[in-house]
Amino acid sequence: MYSFLPAAAAGGVARPQGDYRLTLDGRDLSRKVAKYLVSLSLTQSREDEADMLNLVLDDSRGDLAIPKRGVEIRLAIGWVGAALVDKGTYTVDEVEHGGSPDRITVSARSASMTDEMHVRRDTSWHRKTIGDIVRAIAARHNLKPALNDALANTAIAHIDQTGESDLSFLTRLAKRYDAVMTVKDGRLLFMPIGAGASASGQPLPTMTITRADGDSHRYHVSQRESYTAVRARWHAAKKGKQESVTIGGDNNKNVKLLPETYASREEATAAAKAEYARTQRGQATFDLSLALGRPDAYPEMEVTATGWKPEIDAIPWLIKRLVSKMDGSGGFTTDLEMEMADDPTTSRHRSHFSKTR
C-alpha cells in the first residue's frame, strides 16, 4: 500500500490524501510506482464493456521498462488512514511510450473479459431458462454465475445465437429483459437493472451525496424518449397470426413499436417492459464530479442527492458509470453518471394485449 505524502491546503489545514495499492503476481508495486505516477484512473460501468484501469508514468529519466502485455494487476483505492476498497484484477492489453516529456501509458481491462468470449458461435437455445443459459456460458469460460432468482427462473421458448459471440448474445439477452450483464473479477453477473447488486451478487448500500460533496454537476431532462407506451409483437402459432402486448399508457399517440417479433407472449411482454423501463429512466440524468473521491461507489448503486433543486433531490438516482482519478500530488476525485432509479414497470402501469392489425 502506498500513501501519498501529507499536504496542507491554504491556512495550513491538511487535506485528505489519496491512497492506493497495485499488486502484480502477489507483489506490492505501489512504492515503486509512486515516484513515477502522473495519474491513475479507473472506469467502471454496468454495461458489457470491460472496466478499464489506466496508468500514466513519468519516464523522463529513462529508467522505466515498458510493461509487458498480458500481465495482471490488482487494484485497491481509498484514503490515507482508512481501509482500501478492492477494485478487482486487470489485464494489461495496451502500452504506449510517448514524449516529450517521456511518459508510459498502461491500459488494462477487467481480467475476466477474455478473448474467448468474443468468439462467434452458432447455438440454438430451446426451452431453457435464463439461468440455464447464463450458467452454461459461465461454465464455458470458467466464470462464477451471479443471478437474480426471478431472472434465473424466466423461461425462454426459443432463441438463436447465430454467428454471435457469447458476449454479444448475453448483451442482447440482457437488453431484452432489462438486465445488467457484465463480467468482472471472475464472475458473470446477470441482474435486473436497479437490483443494487455488486459483481459478487451481494446487495449494495444506498449512497447519500450532499451539495457540499460535489465540485460540479449537470442535471438534464429530455423529452426525446418520452414514449407513453411500448408495444411488442409475438407470433401466435396456433392462431396463425401476430398478436401484440402494450406496456404503459392506453393512448396510441406516442407508442414505440419494437421491430422484432417474439416467440411467445411472455417474451414479448418482457421485451416491452424492458424497453419501457429504459425510456422512462433515460428521461432524466444527473452527472456529478466529486471533489473528494468515493472509493465505495459502484455501478448499480442507488444514490440519494440532497441540497440541489427539489426536482433533483426528489429522484432516486442509479449509477450507470463512474471514473475514479488520482494524481501524483494525492488528489482523488470521482465522476458519476447517473439516471433515474425508479422502476416504471410497477403496478401503476397497465399492460394489455391486442391483435396486430
pLDDT score of 212 more than 70: yes
- In DSSP terms, which residues pair with 234 in a beta bridge? 243, 262
Query: What gap in Å lies between CA 351 and CA 246, rounded to an integer?
Result: 5
Q: What is the pLDDT of residue 224?
A: 56
Query: What gap in Å lies between CA 167 and CA 267, rounded to an integer?
Result: 21
**Fold (CATH) for 115-192:** Phage tail protein beta-alpha-beta fold (3.55.50)
Backbone angles phi, psi at 33, to 5 degrees: -70, -30
Domain range 18-110, CATH architecture: Roll (2.30)
Question: Within 10 A of 122 (CB to CB), how many other CB atoms are there?
Answer: 9
| 218: its cell numbers | 449537470
**To the nearest whole number, what is the mean pLDDT of the chain?**
83
Backbone angles phi, psi at 268, to 5 degrees: -65, -40
Pick the closest to residue 74 from 66, 84, 65, 82 (CA basis): 84
pLDDT tier, 250 (very low <50, low <70, confident <90, very high otherwise): low
Query: What gap in Å lies between CA 38 and CA 104, rounded to an integer?
Result: 10
| 106: its cell numbers | 498502461
pLDDT tens, residue by residue, 58-90 = 999 988 888 888 888 999 999 998 999 999 888
Domain ranges of the chain: 18-110, 115-192, 229-282
DSSP tag of 244: E
Query: What gap in Å lies between CA 62 and CA 3, rounded to an integer?
Result: 25
Judged by average pLDDT, the poorest of 96-105, 226-235, 282-291, 310-319 is 226-235
- Cβ-based neighbours of 5, under 8 Å, separated by 6 or more: 17, 330
Model's pTM, two decimal places? 0.77
Query: What gap in Å lies between CA 29 and CA 71, rounded to an integer?
Result: 13
DSSP tag of 13: P
Judged by average pLDDT, the poorest of 250-259, 304-313, 331-340, 343-352 is 343-352
Pick the closest to residue 305 from 193, 203, 219, 204 (CA basis): 219
How are beta strands 72-79 and 85-98 bridged, if at all?
antiparallel
pLDDT score of 105 more than 80: yes
pLDDT score of 346 more than 50: no
> Which carries the bigger pLDDT value, residue 264 or residue 19?
19
